[in-house]
Structure 1
């Protein structure tokens, strides 16, 4: 098989019918932002068809034919498709092309249902991988030799990166950008994209920030917003009732009915979520992390951890972080807490979140000096 060496660094994007808009344009925005900051980065788009119907009357054109010769891509990106188009058997040309040419790429990235195409092409055998949480069973069927994981937003195993998709494609591409170009470029891209909170790969797809939010009770959402923004404070049931504008008795009944857990368990889960992120993003001790998230000391953190997690906090930190802290991340750690405490703005419930510019978390962030 002839090998045609592409200029480095180069990215190839496999274009297929019915691709999920954010699966495609989310990672591409990261690449195009990096492209403006790194002039050698080139991006090529190719697929079985020169044009694609995309969103309603919108179509994509100018797509190159599938390359006949394998190329030494730095990255081969395979975005996901909507449910009606995710049966890999409907894409025989793409699957066969991936089977023959993807091994020549330095990294192959499957976003959302793109992981199914990689599985059909035999690229996931013996590897850890993931996909959208609604497609995990299908991925296990297509790749019986793979180790499918549903408790993370992306996984890197050797030259293969797989992602849960949708918004997590952005996190996955930022991870690759860090691996390929380093933290400084990634930080500049994240700043340009106004991405104040970068998620690590181990974070569950249905993370603590979203857990218990699938309801329409505005008063409970109001309380959940307040808890997310003020995790370090002491919260009594009376405090929670005032935030929700209801009686304590009604709150004790209503909160479990819509959120599936008690208010105090919900608060504890949020604190553990933030603690896990701080373990990944900072070099801090467990005692300092416990204090920052409102658990007092490391003894209380361990007690809370045993209720909802497996293993010890030290074990969770060691297996969770795919990129251990380096000097730049240690420098950035002083900015992490106010940003992570405002993490609810990353949830898809932003219309319900009423964090304003005069919120203490935002004031704390805006008062910091930018790091370049």
Structure 2
């Protein structure tokens, strides 16, 4: 891959399909084979399912490898391993007989260790009966650690990755406990952060913490040797809360019908009505647009921003939602011209290959 960061949508999509996705699938194939060898049946089932059902998470996240220049393959190795940990743990918590927040926090300690190269591997399954994964989770952690420890620039980035990672872990713990405790815990957690983000509702803040994009952006810039203290702080500001919030709110938007049928928590359901939700989505779009102007490679980040909107709204599930046509039309309009490009490009991609975006 060339070192140049794509500046237009056609160049971006060409690189994505020709270089990034094939490398992502190569990494994922390795982890699928590892997952198949997990001795414990339940852990093996969830590990395989988390990759097969959520490949699009790794595909989408790995677009940030284009910021890593010559180290793009190392970036993909980190992104795939870290995202695979995230998706695996999400499956373990979602489909677990355990509702123990201590168990969930111990599992997610693996994500903090993945971002801390000097940390030793721990017994992440300490509080659950299913334990023997044949070192699957620890090998994922080691893979992330090995990428980060080879960079002398990582100390400049680490406090930002750990902050974003810690918020992500808090969300996962609070939203997976027994149903009657979830909302009180999430609201109480938001009170600790509300003074910093008074313009957000508790459910919007929760959504903002649920994305890994900021971490992928920080690590990719670092691998390219372009990182300094100022850029690290700016990436965090530009991605959290609005870019990450837009990402996860869109994810919840397309899952509304599915989550309602399965009785799962969906942050979009807490908006008073459809018009309020559309207004707030438009607010997130505008704020994200403002924030990414402060980053280098502005055109790239703007494409990611518009791509999120276009690709999510092109998902097949959107067609099953009430008032989807007007919602899609209005959000595409406020998101910019490239959002429509990604919208129609993704529609075509779905016709050629089954799957989901980002």
Place the TM-score, normalised by the shorter chain, in its bin.
Answer: 0.3 to 0.5
Q: TM-score, normalised by structure 2?
A: 0.35
Larger Rg, first or second structure (1 or 2): 1
Q: TM-score, normalised by structure 1?
A: 0.34
Which protein has the bigger helix share? Answer: 2
Structure of higher RCO (CA pairs closer than 8 Å, 6+ residues apart): 2
Which protein has the bigger strand share? Answer: 1
